[in-house]
Structures are given as C-alpha cells and as structure tokens.
Amino acid sequence: MPETVISLKQVNIYQGQSLILKDVNFEINKGEFVYLVGKTGTGKSSLLKTLYGELKLTEGQASVVGFDLRLMDWKKVPYLRRNLGVVFQDFQLLTDRNVHENLKFVLKATGWKDERLIEEKINDVLDKVGLKSKGFKMPFEMSGGEQQRVDIARALLNSPKLILADEPTGNLDPETSDEIMQLLIQIAKDYGTTVVMATHDFIVINRYPSRMLKTEGGKVVDSASMMMA
C-alpha cells in the first residue's frame, strides 16, 4: 500500500466566517507530483494555507504528514512545518546574508546544533539543486532561477515528506521555469518527496502533465477521480 501523505475527508475550509471550499475529499501519496490550479479567489491559497497550518481546520478530517489538522494549534504548527517544505513565489530569502547563512539560519531555527552536521546538510541540499559552488553568493548576486533553487534547497533542509510550492515559476522566464519544473519533478521521483504545486501556468502544466486538483465553484475537482469515473 502506498503511504498517504495528505488525506482530506469531508473538509470545509473557511476564511473568517466565509465558507470558501465545501466537502473537500482527496488523498495524495508518497512521491506524487500534483498540481493545484484555480482562478484567483477560488480558494487555492486557502487550501494551501490549511495544509501548512496557517488556516485552522474546524470541519472534516484531515491529516498532513501524519499530523491531524483538527488538533493543530500555534504550539504544534512548527512541528508540522518541520516535516514539510514550503516554496514561495517571491523566494523570501534573507537579503543581508549569503546563501550558506540563509540555510544555516533555518537549520538553527529548527533545532540543529551540531556544526558538522549543519555543514553536511547545507552542502547536500545545495548539491541536490545544482548550486554546490554558490553558497558564498548573496541573494542579490543571483538570477531569479538561482534564488528559486535556493528556496527549494531551503525547503529540503529537514528532509520533508511533502513540499508545498506556491507559484514557484510565477516570476521566472520560460527557460528557467523549465529548469525549476524538472528539478521539482526529479525531487519527487528520486527522493519520494510528495510535491503539491499551485500554479496559473498552463504552459508548464501542458509540458509536464500530472494529476491536477482544481478549485472552482466552492469545490475541489480531482482529475484522478475524473479519470476513474
């Protein structure tokens, strides 16, 4: 049996008092690559925020990397986030320190203490994203594609079972988008990391077809269940 990394059953998602998504049901397994698509305002961001614990879940059953989202509170959210990596569209790198120090900051913040292990881990993730020799560079010295690779390296630091990528190709030119897509797909395949990628970019989706979750009309439509129907 494949390992389930995300499971949502009869989930309702709210922003404040407003019901955004109703009766959401899907499962995503280890090593799957899944797109999350939908027009702005249809609940795509709310769904992502629910998955990484920013929006509290009050109705339905949901687990992400073994954590019950109904039981999430501000104390438990950091533990959830240590088991998943989040990749942002705007990189969110610390601009006052180099790549190596950016990654070291995250490891220290998540409880790593052994300097030798920290160095090994940083070298390992930079190698995985093809930036082994770029640790000394400052973010402003790097291209958008390189900064996005650093963001992915940062997401890989705690060997997550799940990466949530929010429009990771949104600010990149087509050639660089291709490189980032190939990297994310390779991470899913080689390391068994589940990747859920929110995107508006149908050029990317058509070039790298995969299972798709679509937010529309207050629902989440799963291409996998449509294929089975």
Q: Per-10-residue mean pLDDT for the chain, 229 residues long?
A: 94 94 97 95 92 93 96 88 86 91 92 94 95 94 93 93 92 91 94 94 93 96 71
- pTM score of the predicted model: 0.92
Give the pLDDT confidence score for residue 226 in this predicted structure.
64
What distance in Å separates the CA atoms of residue 107 and residue 22, rounded to the nearest whole number? 37
In which element (H, E) is residue 164 found? Answer: strand 162-166
In which element (H, E) is residue 225 found? Answer: helix 223-228
Partner residues linked to 19 by β-bridges: 14
User: From the centroid of its chain, how far is CA 201?
Assistant: 16
Give the pLDDT confidence score for residue 89 in this predicted structure.
77
For the stretch 72-80, contacts whose Cβ atoms lie closer than 8 Å and that sit 24 or more positions apart, written own/partner, are 77/53, 78/110, 80/52, 80/53
What distance in Å separates the CA atoms of residue 77 and residue 20, rounded to the nearest whole number? 22
Give the pLDDT confidence score for residue 90 in this predicted structure.
78
| Residue type for position 122 | I
Give the pLDDT confidence score for residue 122 in this predicted structure.
97
| DSSP 3-state of 149 | helix
